[in-house]
Structure formats: C-alpha cells, structure tokens
C-alpha cells in the first residue's frame, strides 16, 4: 500500500482529500499543527495525525527518517488574502519560509513527489476569460505572490534534484461532504457561500455584496465554484500521476462555469427556503470582475472531470453542513 503524507490534512480541503485518498486505497498520514485545522476533520480511523509544524526542520527530518512516504501533498499554508495585505511577512514566512524547510527535509529523505495547493490568485487581474494556464501570472496580493514564489521554488527543485510536482491552481473551493461529516470551518470565515448561509440561518444580519457595477451580466463579481470533493478527486489523480512516473504539471482546477454573487444568493434562497437579507457595499480593491477557469488541461492530463459541482448540489451540501454546525454550537 502506497503511503501519502498530507500536510495541512486537518484543514478544509485537506480533510476531504484525506477521505478520498483512503477510499482510493492509500495509507495516509496527516501532518498539521492544528493552528487552523481540526482533529475532528480526520474521520478515518486508519489515518495517523502528526501534530507538528512543517517548518520545524529537526522534527520534519526525524519524521521522514521514521516513516517512508511515497508522495506528499502540501495544503499547509495561510489563506486569508486581506490579512496577507496587512501582514505580508506572516504569509511569506509560512507559505514560503516554512514550506521551504519542509522541502529541505523531503530532499534529505529523497522524497521527490509533491502535489501543491496553488491558486487562481497567482494570475492576478486577468482580462481574458476563461483563464488558461499559459496566461501570465501577476498576483496582486502577498497571498497570491507567496503561492507563485513556491511554484518557482518547485521548478528550481526539479532542475536541482529531480523533484516532480503537480501544482493545482484551485478556483473557489466550496461545499461539504455528502454525509455532512466534514465541511468548511474557517475562523474567520471570508468565503461567500458559508457567509450567505450564516445569513440564511440568522447568525449574520445580512450578506454584503461588494460592488454592483462590474462589467458582468448583473453587475456583481463572477467566480468559478468548485466542490471540495471534486478538488479532492483531482489530488488523488495528481498523486496517481506522480506515482506512475508522470511529469510535473501546473493546472487549473475549476468547472469552467462562472456564477455571480447575486446568482449564488438567489440559489441559496431556493435551496434553503430562507429569506437572505442583502446589503450593498462598494467594490473591494483587488476583486477582479470575473475569475473562471479553463479546466481543459486537468481534463486531458489528469483525466479529471468535476461531478459534484452543480451549484445547487454545492449549496445543498454546504447548507446541510452549516445547519449541523449551527445546531451543535
């Protein structure tokens, strides 16, 4: 049985991917410092959790000496764009600095296969849509830049010591597992769908729509919403590719279809049957009008097709999860 180390596996996307890896027949170990992750998010009894920081090089070296890993997935990182603008060094220190130390330990242990959580934020403000991987990357905030720097680090490691990597550039991750055992639990929450559902539950006065004068059909921002279980499947396929000796790859993981903020709110009203109070605010700086993936490369190179990302299904799964969290709090 091949053994996969999942750094950041107690977080939102990582925990869904851990379940998909176990289902696919992999042995899985999670490395997470639990700063933002949750022990409850690791639901499979067979999975071992190592509560350490990926930047603790001595502990990482010891871990790689004790255990044999066939490949690594790295989800570990800070994710809040707004915070990265206020405190860029926090982002470079973790998303680049500690992640580089982690790579040093991998190099020493001769573990040379890595799947990395990259992001559509590495593209910046792109005029053309849908976005292909050949588009120039000019991220507009420290979060996006930290992720792009790490993509470069991985390229350089391939030249120097043969590291093979798959960088998955996610669009907007959303939804929850169909059995509502795990779902999105960020603190603070900044993502649209959970915030809309908090408003539906009455836990938030209203949802604020930032900008209604964008050059989009209804004037609000358009994004590509990808179900977290479809993202998880892309990671399993990326691991398979590397274990089969495949080449490095950087590809978008999105659906190819965009939904506006207003469309998300309307769908959430339909799915929940609740009134959702809306307030309108000014545009936020750095919010491009439209971010939609061209997912052709993931389809041809990984044989990946999203099956869970129908927007009603996304919101229904997130709603079931939100109700469960609300009832237990």
Ligand X SMILES: NC(=O)c1ccc[n+]([C@@H]2O[C@H](COP(=O)([O-])OP(=O)(O)OC[C@H]3O[C@@H](n4cnc5c(N)ncnc54)[C@H](O)[C@@H]3O)[C@@H](O)[C@H]2O)c1
Question: Which region among 71-79, 233-241, 263-271, 297-305 touches ligand X (by CB under 6 A)?
Answer: 71-79
Question: Which region among 129-137, 166-174, 263-271, 303-311 touches ligand X (by CB under 6 A)?
Answer: 166-174
Name the catalytic one among 78, 123, 143, 170: 143
Cα(314)–Cα(306) distance, integer angstroms: 12
Rg of the Cα trace of the chain? 19
Q: Counting Cβ atoms within 10 Å, is residue 252 exposed (0-12), middle (13-18) or buried (19+)?
A: buried
Cα(95)–Cα(68) distance, integer angstroms: 24
Contact between residue 74 and residue 116 where contact means Cβ atoms under 8 Å apart: yes
Tell which positions 105-164 bind ligand X, by CB under 6 A.
Answer: 117, 119
Tell how far CA 319 is from the center of its chain. Answer: 19
Task: Give the nearest distance from C-beta 268 to ligand X in angstroms.
Answer: 17
Task: Give the nearest distance from C-beta 208 to ligand X in angstroms.
Answer: 19
Q: Say whether the peptide bond before residue 130 is cis (omega within 30 degrees of 0).
A: yes
Task: Give the nearest distance from C-beta 198 to ligand X in angstroms.
Answer: 17
Q: Considering Cα of 304, then 75, then 105, then 20, what sign does the dihedral take?
A: negative
Q: Which residue is nearest to ligand X (CB)?
A: 11
Q: Which is nearer to ligand X, 97 or 219 (CB)?
A: 97
Beta strands 164-170 and 249-253: pairing type? parallel
Tell which positions 263-292 bind ligand X, by CB under 6 A.
Answer: none
Question: Which region among 64-72, 75-83, 132-140, 210-218 touches ligand X (by CB under 6 A)?
Answer: 75-83
Contact status: 76 vs ligand X (CB under 6 A): yes
**Structure tokens given for 121:** 């934020």
Q: Which is nearer to ligand X, 13 or 268 (CB)?
A: 13
Residue with structure tokens 């570990």?
A: 76
Task: Give the nearest distance from C-beta 254 to ligand X in angstroms.
Answer: 10
Pick one of 4, 10, 176, 261: the residue that binds ligand X (CB under 6 A).
Answer: 10
Tell which positions 23-62 bind ligand X, by CB under 6 A.
Answer: 32-37, 53-55
Question: Which region among 2-10, 158-166, 192-200, 277-285 touches ligand X (by CB under 6 A)?
Answer: 2-10
Question: Which region among 165-173, 261-269, 287-295, 319-327 touches ligand X (by CB under 6 A)?
Answer: 165-173
Residue with structure tokens 């990984």?
A: 302
Pick one of 29, 63, 73, 94: the residue that binds ligand X (CB under 6 A).
Answer: 94
Tell which positions 182-211 bind ligand X, by CB under 6 A.
Answer: 186
Contact between residue 23 and residue 177 where contact means Cβ atoms under 8 Å apart: no
Q: CB neighbours (10 Å) of residue 163?
A: 20
Task: Give the nearest distance from C-beta 184 to ligand X in angstroms.
Answer: 7
Question: CA torsion angle for 50, 52, 58, 60 (degrees, to 10)?
Answer: 50
Contact status: 306 vs ligand X (CB under 6 A): no
Among 286, 269, 289, 285, residue whose Cα is nearest residue 277? 269
Task: Give the nearest distance from C-beta 213 to ligand X in angstroms.
Answer: 25
Where do the H-state alpha helices sit in 244-295? 261-272
Among this protein's residues, is 143 annotated catalytic? yes
Q: Which is nearer to ligand X, 66 or 187 (CB)?
A: 187
Residues 6+ apart with CB under 8 A from 294: 130, 131, 132, 252, 256
Residues near ligand X (CB under 6 A): 7-8, 10-14, 32-37, 53-55, 75-77, 79, 94, 98, 117, 119, 170, 172-173, 186
Q: Annotated active-site positions, please?
A: 143
């Amino acid at each position: 049985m091949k053994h996969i180390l999942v750094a950041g596996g107690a977080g939102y996307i990582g925990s869904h991917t851990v379940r998909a890896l176990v289902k696919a027949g992999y042995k899985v170990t999670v490395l997470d410092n639990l700063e933002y992750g949750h022990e409850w998010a690791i639901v499979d009894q067979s999975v071992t959790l190592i509560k350490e920081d990926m930047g603790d090089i001595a502990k990482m070296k010891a871990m790689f000496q004790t255990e044999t890993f066939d490949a690594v997935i790295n989800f570990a990182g800070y994710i809040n764009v707004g915070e990265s603008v206020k405190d860029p060094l926090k982002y470079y220190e973790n998303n680049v600095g500690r992640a580089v130390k982690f790579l040093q330990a991998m190099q020493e242990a001769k573990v040379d296969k890595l799947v990395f959580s990259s992001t559509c934020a590495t593209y910046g403000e792109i005029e053309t849509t849908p976005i292909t991987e050949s588009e120039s990357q000019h991220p507009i905030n420290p979060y996006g830049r930290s992720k792009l720097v790490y993509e470069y680090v991985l390229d350089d490691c391939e030249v120097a010591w043969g590291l093979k990597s798959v960088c998955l550039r996610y669009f907007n991750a959303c939804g929850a597992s169909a059995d509502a055992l795990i779902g999105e639990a960020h603190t603070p929450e900044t993502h649209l769908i959970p915030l809309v559902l908090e408003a539906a539950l009455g836990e938030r006065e209203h949802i604020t729509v930032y900008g209604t004068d964008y050059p989009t059909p209804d004037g609000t921002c358009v994004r590509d919403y990808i179900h977290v279980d479809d993202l998880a499947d892309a990671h399993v396929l990326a691991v398979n590719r590397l274990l089969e000796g495949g080449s490095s790859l950087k590809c978008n993981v999105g659906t190819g279809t965009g939904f506006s903020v207003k469309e998300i709110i309307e769908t959430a009203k339909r799915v929940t049957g609740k009134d959702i109070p809306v307030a309108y605010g000014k545009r936020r700086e750095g919010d491009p009008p439209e971010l939609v993936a061209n997912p052709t490369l993931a389809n041809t190179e990984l044989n990946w097709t999203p099956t869970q990302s129908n927007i009603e299904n996304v919101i229904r799964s997130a709603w079931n999860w939100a109700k469960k969290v609300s009832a237990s709090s």
